[in-house]
Amino acid sequence: MLQEGGQMKRKLSFLIVLLLVPAVVLAGLLLFDGKQYAFTSAAVVTLAVFAFFLSFEKKENAGTKLVLIAVMTALSVAGRIVFAAIPAFKPVTAVVIITAIYFGREAGFMTGALSAVLSNFYFGQGQWTPFQMLTWGLIGWLAGLLAAKLKTSRVLLSAYGFVAGISFSLLMDIWSTLWFDGGFNLSRYLTLVVSALPHTLLYAASNIVFLLMLNKPVGKKLDRIKIKYGL
């Protein structure tokens, strides 16, 4: 009985999230005339992340799964801190992709989204946090979806890491533009993209390096642990 009550409550909160999206758009139009795009996108992105989280909460997840996600999140964050000295070399995306390939798309999303929150406790939270959460989360989710192919083909894996790196920058720049201009100013967007280009390319390339060098040894370890503990 108790169990069912919890399920109902969670279904209800899921519905509320869905209803909140149009409410947010309306509130943006009414309250923040002139900045409605920035407000609406921020609120909708937050709600999207929240909906993902609620669907994760809907299940009773095994302790092992929770701990695995916690470790992979901590690893990507610690990596971002330890290797902060090498510019643009951040293992976050690579760790998220590897988690997704070996533990599925849900673990990938959670690791990506939680890495964003957690690392921003060290590097500074800001209005960009929800956007980073959604973007890194989706990178993990998609990698989990393509897991079978990414596991076997090094070319596809590199391509995915590269595209993920580029899209992360392109998506974050969309948000910066919306926030600064209150609408989509193409010339500002292009300037942001072009001025960040060297960094973006280096970042995408570093993803490939990390993925190619990590995939095999880490994959072996993960498979071994799966067998050893019967996950």
Partner 1 sequence: MRAFSSLHPAVSMLHFAAVVAVGMFSTNPVIEVLSLAGGALFCATLTSPEQKKKDAVFYVFMMLAVVITNPLFSHNGVTELLFINGNPITLESVIYGCYMAVTAASVMLWFKVFGEIMTSDKIVFLFGRLLPQISLVLSMAFRYVPLIKRQAVKVSRAQKAMGLYSSEKVVDRIRSAVSVISVLIGWSLENAVETAKSMKARGYGLKGKTNYSDFRFTKTDFCFVFGCLFLLVITVSGMAIGKLDFYYYPSITAVPSDIYSLICYAAYGLLAFLPFTFESGEMIRWKYYKSRI
Q: Which residues bind partner 1 (CB under 8 A)?
A: 2, 13, 28, 30-36, 38-39, 42, 53-54, 56-57, 60-64, 66-71, 73-75, 77-79, 81-83, 86, 89, 91, 95, 110, 114, 117-118, 121, 124-127, 180-182, 185, 187-188, 191, 209-210, 213-214, 217-218, 221-222, 225, 229, 231
Rounded-to-integer distance, Cα 137 and Cα 129, Å: 12
The owner of tokens 């669907």 is: 55
> Least distance in Å: CB of 148 to partner 1?
21
Distances (CA, A) of 8 to 11, 41, 123: 5, 29, 38
| Half-sphere CA count of 79, side-chain side, radius 13 A | 19
* Helix, strand, or coil (residue 125): coil
Cβ distance to partner 1 smaller for residue 147 or 211: 211
Task: Report angle CA 101, 105, 111 to the nearest 5 degrees.
Answer: 85
Cβ distance to partner 1 smaller for residue 65 or 170: 65
Cβ distance to partner 1 smaller for residue 34 or 148: 34
> Least distance in Å: CB of 32 to partner 1?
4
Cβ distance to partner 1 smaller for residue 152 or 187: 187
Distances (CA, A) of 85 to 89, 90, 162, 174, 211: 8, 10, 21, 27, 20
> Least distance in Å: CB of 176 to partner 1?
10
> Least distance in Å: CB of 169 to partner 1?
18
Cβ distance to partner 1 smaller for residue 155 or 228: 228
The owner of tokens 């790196």 is: 165
CB burial readout 104-125, b (16+ within 10 A) else e: bbbbbbbbbbbbbbbbbeeeee
> Least distance in Å: CB of 137 to partner 1?
12
